[in-house]
Structure 1
Amino acid sequence: MHKKVEILPLEGRMGDGIHFAMDYLTEQTQLLNGEIDDITITAKIRMSLSLVLVIQGQTVVATALRENCKSIVQFNKYTKLPEAITFTENASWPLAMPVFKMDYAHQEYEAKFGKEPRAYGVQTMRYDVDDKGHIRGLYTQILEQGENGMVMKEGPERFWPADLVLLSIGFEGTEPTVPNAFNIKTDRNRIVADDTNYQTNNEKVFAAGDARRGQSLVVWAIKEGRGVAKAVDQYLASKVCV
């Protein structure tokens, strides 16, 4: 339900060869399951440039590697995380501050190409397409950490050649079908639900994970999934007449 992808209206965005990473991964899964006979999006024998957040990108990187692509660059608008930090008593999982790590896909890429695929502090400015409308690459600007978040650094744009761009830059929010059907309150495209029992304004409907809190790490999905299961069980138990 929480899959309404975010679209940035950049120059050249509708060029051929620019796709959502979710569409790419969905086709790959359908092909493996025998649901389709062929795919329309492939990184095979291509230079694949994947525009993704670090927390989302490793599946795209791993899949493109399986297709034997020529190269991958995984963009991250944030600066590189520290190698280690000093944890405090109140910083246990999943609240702990993130640190730099090499996930399995990044390790595989480094083993094959001799370097990790991620580029940090990068903001896409526009896409470059040829006369036939196919992607040739894109232009980026450097981002750096400012007092109130990431700010663009002055300087020339950098051109990155690419013949495939896979976008995974977030979600706009929850699709309205279910909230509208059950008259559930929403706020900024998120379902409004209690932080403790995950119950919405409709007592029979519960919400958790990205649909409630917005795009987040999978550890939060696990935590809230367990929490909402317990809450639903308690609700049903309270309604059972013995």
Structure 2
Amino acid sequence: MTGRGHVEPGGQPLVEQLSPELTMIKMSVGPMDNNAYVLQPRTGAPVLIDAANDADRLVAAAGDPPPGTIVTTHRHHDHWQALADLTARWSPQLYAGSPDLEAIQQGAGVRDVTGVWDADEIPIGDERLEILGLVGHTPGSIVIIYRGDVTHLFTGDGLFPGGVGKTGSAADFTSLIEDVEHKIFNVFEDDTVIHPGHGDDTTVGRERPHLDEWRSRGW
């Protein structure tokens, strides 16, 4: 059974109007079923969230004008496999969470990435995307926030349907689940949509009741 915002690996992109000002294109790319998101404003250049893989498919989905910005949600290699290729093609502005910045630049072979963290903003058309940091899956994972008709959170691998992202230690898990609780569940309304780095979408209202369960199981 497929859920909200389902896309198939190698399949057709999903197109969704997030507001009168912004259209989202979601597609699954690469062998790890990564989600890549193109946010197309009514005027101005799009923003790509995670140049994860399949550069040619991303180019085709993004259309013209091409994205003027690429945001990488965190340092793990499956989220930046197409970053160098698309940077060479488009010459976009590059952004990533400040604590993951050096690892992304070295791993992906790109330069001049701008570090962002809590309360920073990235322009898109006539609007802004907001940034918050989640520490635990990696030191510098970020969430990209768009406030449209409802609020949309692009959470990378920090938060999924059914739990937080994978962590390497008890301390990392504690950090991540506390950030998710205090920065997401204690802040955003139930209808806020969560767009994760892999898999289907969900909402804050659907996931919030399970926080204590996740904490008890430790993942």
TM-score by length of 2: 0.34
The structure with more radius of gyration? 1
Higher RCO (CA < 8 A, seq sep 6+)? 1
Q: Which has the higher strand share?
A: 2
